Amino acid sequence: MTPPPGWYPDPKAPHLQRWWDGTAWTEHRRTPEAAAGAPGVPGAPGVPGAPGAPATPAPLVQGGTGAPAGPGSHVGPVGPGHPVGPGGPVGPGGAAGRSKVIALTTAGAVLVAAVVTGAVFLGRDDGEPRARTETSSGADPAPGGGSASQSGTPSPSASSSEPSADDPAVVEDPLNGITFPLLDGWIRPEHVADDDVVMTTDGTYDCPGEGIVCRHGTVISRTVTGTDETSPEVLAKKDISDAAEDAFDKDQLGQRPYGGLKSHTVVKSGPVAVAGRAGYLVRWRVTTGKGPGGYVQSMVFPSSVGTESPIVVRYVFDAGEDGPPLSDMDRITKGIRSVNGAGTGGGVGSSIGPED
């Protein structure tokens, strides 16, 4: 049960009174002094004494001479803090009757204020005072300790928004103006020397050959430079051999973490849609001198920002049960987006799916 409409102490400012419409707090406030001596306040439609309603026609006074009551008259019970204006109820007693009504109204307002204030400042079991009732929705507590949301008033739901570059499930390549989805098992680069690495698998392991540590998966994004060629197909076919050597042959220190690159097999090549742009990919399965070998893929597509320079994305996955699922290459590709929102639709090769 919720309290009836009326003036009650404001939960946020107990020195003021605030209008409770029976369901929720309104923005109407007044001082307690105004409740005792201020002229009549226009009421809401059908609610005498509520803020902002038109005045109701003055009824005839029962037990009087039959003349209409004066301005501000009130017939029947007077609500908490309801002011009685000049020319109050006309009838036996005249001005004395008005004085009694005002006195009773003031006493009623003080009594209601004391009861509500006592409920709001009710002590907890540990004896410490509680200034207000906290609610999970953040609404001001209703008179008597409830809340507007608990009394049936719908509360606005949290607004949803599109993922941004700040989303923890998204990794941004600001230089090329694209974002990558951060899948389960993948993390942002940690302790990686190359600036163009956008994500790696979580954790490292001892390399099967020379070197200290290796990673099961890496994704690299860079701008194609040093050539006037713009064809994604030509650039992808040219880049794949360099990608395989960089990943599985020698590292920057001249060591062979996988015992050297032995051979390769083309397992996929063709057009692909990347952030709504027509691109091309080539994927190799490579064998190495040590370890299970792996997969390397070069994918090239034009950027949707700036001069639309070609972007090459390299995927390096270990083969074997410890490597990431090969389907992650296609899932990451399908999740690449332009940071400016352009070109997020399909395109040539948009139906390319996971490798069997």
What CATH number is given to the structural domain containing 311? 3.40.1000.10
Q: Are 180 and 316 in a shared domain?
A: yes
Domain shared by 174 and 323, yes or no: yes
* More confident position, 140 or 200: 200
Name the DSSP letter for residue 166.
T
175 with 116, same domain?
A: no
- Are 201 and 295 found together in one domain? yes
Residue 143 maps to a domain: no
Last residue of one domain, picked from the residues 86, 120, 154: 120
Asked if residue 92 belongs to a domain, the reply is: yes
Q: 60-113 pLDDT, tens per residue?
A: 333 333 333 333 333 333 334 433 333 333 333 444 444 443 444 444 444 444
Average pLDDT, rounded, for the chain = 72
Tokens of 150: 């608990």
Both 296 and 236 in one domain: the answer is yes
Please report whether residue 275 resides in a domain: yes
- One domain for residues 325 and 177: yes
**Average pLDDT of the segment spanning 315-321:** 95
Return the higher-pLDDT residue of 236 and 90.
Answer: 236
- In this structure, are 64 and 181 located in the same domain? no
HSE, CB side, 13 Å, CA atoms: give it for residue 53. 15
Residue 129 lies in a domain: no
Q: What is the DSSP letter of 68?
A: B
The domain of 11 spans: 6-120
DSSP-derived 3-state class of residue 34: helix
User: Which of 73-77, 143-147, 186-190, 233-237 has maximum average pLDDT?
Assistant: 233-237
> Residue 259 falls within a domain, yes or no?
yes
Task: Output 72 or 171, whichever has higher pLDDT.
Answer: 171
| Local confidence band at 342 (pLDDT 50, 70, 90 cut-offs) | low
Lowest mean pLDDT among 57-71, 225-239, 332-346: 57-71
Q: How confident is the model at residue 315 (pLDDT cuts 50, 70, 90)?
A: very high
Q: Which CB contacts under 8 angstroms, 24+ apart, belong to 348-351?
A: 348/271, 348/272, 348/273, 348/278, 349/270, 349/271, 349/272, 349/273, 349/278, 349/279, 350/272, 350/273
pLDDT band at 15 (very low <50, low <70, confident <90, very high): confident
Measured CA to CA, the distance from residue 315 to residue 327 in angstroms comes to 12
**Residue among 235, 230, 245, 168 nearest 199 (CA):** 168
- Decide if pLDDT at 317 tops 80: yes
Q: Token pair for residue 63? A: 């037990």
Type and span of the H or E element at 246: helix 232-248
Same domain for 106 and 181, yes or no, is no
Whether 112 and 181 map to the same domain: the answer is: no
Total number of domains in the chain: 2
